[in-house]
Amino acid sequence: MLVSTIGDVVITNDGATIMKELDVQHPAAKMLVEVAKTQDNEVGDGTTTAVVLTGELLDKAEKLLDKDVHPTVIVEGYKKAADKAREILEKLSENIDPNDRAALRQIAMTSMSTKGVSGSKDYLGDIAVDAALQVKETRDGKNKVDVDLVKIVKKHGKSLEETELVRGIVIDKEIAHPQMPKRTNNAKIALLNAKLEIEKTEFDAKININNPDQMKLFLDEEERMLKEMVDDVAKSGANFVFCEKSIDDIALHFLSKKGISAIKNMSSGDMEKLAKATGGKIMASVKDLSADSLGEAKVIEESKIGDDKLTYVRDAKNPMAVTVVLRGGTEHVVDEAERSLHDALCVVRDAIEDAKVVAGGGAPEAETAKQLRDYAVKVGGREQLAIESFAEAMESIPLALAENAGLDPIDVMVDLRAKHENPENRWYGVDVFSGKVKDTKSLNVVEPLRVKIQVVKSATEAASMILRIDDVVASKGTKGPPGPPPGGPGGMGGMPPGGDYD
Ligand SMILES: Nc1ncnc2c1ncn2[C@@H]1O[C@H](COP(=O)(O)OP(=O)(O)OP(=O)(O)O)[C@@H](O)[C@H]1O
Ligand SMILES: [Mg+2]
């Protein structure tokens, strides 16, 4: 539970979110935050693993530094080890059929089994797989899944199991005027990025009005201009307007008289999704609206969920975009469910795009460590030490899993190393439920290869970057907000002492 100074509470088990929310001061620690961010952006899962591995790599490097191994040797050794680890992981990985729902489901469920929502992982796992397959495209013979096309609308109330997958776009807004139709069939949709209002002049102007007639003329003129705008909308053939900006009340009134519904103050993300789904173009002026700039959907209707009204755009021209309406007991539950669903969508995407998976539960890390040790001997010299340290750092993942499951890490490690002596046992990892070392593949603990490879990549790069730092020097600090003075309390106290290396 992360509590901010103003009392905001975030309850999460998502590594990326924890790192983002932490009040980090130390510049090296900020790099670990970056590791989590990169991992999250690139592959969507494995952020905790990446941060743990970076920490372990640095810890092991410190021990080597104490033994007078030069940082450049460590960095070189780590690089060789990372390249080899990638090769080992690729060889270890198994192919899946990207349309195999059952296989994808296992991957989604593994990523959610470590989260607070794990009780509903069957249900949410299905939703993640359905949503990802719905937005799957094939470009140049390759599968592509854009997870941004899966919109998540959060509504607390009811329970996680009442979460619904809508094939279309759900807008968290209601129709702007009570007299507008609440349901539009065969919608012709105008997407506007312009105000339907009279523009205020940029300079102060004064108008002298001497009698009531002039006042009336002035207001009539405003009304006429608004009516003209609405006429332009109607002329294009649109019967529904999504507007990114505001709409004047009088314009809303005219629109409703013409039977045109409208939603104002749309987010730009929603506008882009609508453009993609309905085939419409976002226009910067009502004058530019024409029949071929309009999008299409079979039905647009307003519907009530709990106390709120949502607008559903169903059966759009291009039904690629989907929306998950997430429900859950409290706001915190829904927030964490959103993060977990995001992780699940990303791992399913990774698996669909690459069609390569590995087992989880620390099995690939243990196997990589074993093979890296064999490799280290072949490399020899001082780099051998660095590669062996890398292997040991990889083993921190099954160790952490064992510790978190309340097991004795040494027992588990001994058992795990013994099992991995036999190549047949490559998928032996920690079964957190039985507390034993087991074949995690047969337990359906499966993860995309991409997550594991990115973990190795980002952890090695961050650790090497920190290892290359010779010294910390105070700079003028013209960029960004002022921080604590270097060297002072809370400053760079924890940095390794400046050396004469490199
Ligand atoms: N049922 C299970 N038994 C054993 N290990 C599991 C099981 N489910 C998941 N794991 C393992 O847990 C680890 C993932 O844990 P977790 O999801 O908390 O962290 P992460 O994926 O590294 O980061 P985050 O999900 O916060 O981005 C992986 O190594 C995965 O193989
Ligand atoms: Mg995870």
344 CA from centroid of ligand 2 (Å)? 8
Q: Which ligand is nearest to the CA of 360?
A: 1
110 CA from centroid of ligand 2 (Å)? 8
Q: Which ligand is nearest to the CA of 47?
A: 1
Count other Cβ atoms within 10 Å, centred on residue 420: 22
Distance separating alpha carbons of residues 401 and 405, to the nearest angstrom: 6
pTM for the model: 0.85
Tokens of 132: 């990802």
The H or E element spanning position 390 is helix 381-394
The parts of the chain modelled with pLDDT lower than 70 are: 478-502
CA 288 to chain centre: 35
Distance separating alpha carbons of residues 347 and 358, to the nearest angstrom: 12
pLDDT at 301: 94
Distance separating alpha carbons of residues 501 and 73, to the nearest angstrom: 11
Q: Judge contact between 109 and 121, C-beta under 8 A.
A: yes
Residue 160: which of 344, 341, 349 has the closest Cα? 341
- Tell me which residue has its CA closest to atom 10 in ligand 1: 361
Identify the sign of the CA torsion 273, 277, 278, 284: positive
Distance separating alpha carbons of residues 52 and 56, to the nearest angstrom: 6
pLDDT at 480: 56
105 CA from centroid of ligand 2 (Å)? 15
- Mutate which of 39, 45, 49, 54 for ligand 1? The one with the most ligand atoms within 8 Å of its CB, which is 49
Distance separating alpha carbons of residues 349 and 367, to the nearest angstrom: 25
Distance separating alpha carbons of residues 156 and 338, to the nearest angstrom: 11
pLDDT at 500: 43
Active site residue 48: yes
Alpha-carbon Rg for the chain, nearest whole angstrom, is 29
409 CA from centroid of ligand 2 (Å)? 21
Q: What percent of the chain has pLDDT over 70?
A: 95
- Tell me which residue has its CA closest to atom 11 in ligand 1: 361
**Per-position DSSP letters for 293-331, written without gaps between them:** G-EEEEEEEEEEETTEEEEEEEEESSTT-EEEEEEESSH
Q: What is the pLDDT of residues 124-137, one digit of tens each?
A: 999 999 999 999 99
DSSP bridge pairs for 261: 240
Among 343, 350, 431, 439, the one annotated catalytic: 343
Question: Please, what's the b/e burial string for 344-375 (b: 16 or more CB within 10 A of its CB; e: otherwise)?
Answer: bbbbbbbbbbbbbbbbbbbbbbbbbbbbbbeb
Contacts of 444 (CB under 8 A, 6+ apart): 106, 109, 110
Contacts of 379 (CB under 8 A, 6+ apart): 77, 80, 387
Give the CA distances from residue 307 to residues 304, 332, 336, in Å, rounded to whole numbers and listed in that order: 7, 18, 22
pLDDT at 497: 45
pLDDT at 487: 45
pLDDT at 477: 72
**Ligand 1 pocket, residues with Cβ under 6 angstroms:** 13-16, 45-49, 110, 113-114, 343, 360-362, 397, 401, 430-432, 440, 445, 447
pLDDT at 2: 93
Q: What is the pLDDT of residues 442-489, one digit of tens each?
A: 999 999 999 999 999 999 999 999 999 888 788 887 665 555 544 444
Among 17, 38, 48, 323, the one annotated catalytic: 48
Tokens of 493: 């106290």
Q: Judge contact between 471 and 498, C-beta under 8 A.
A: yes
* Strand bridging mode 282-283 / 183-192: parallel
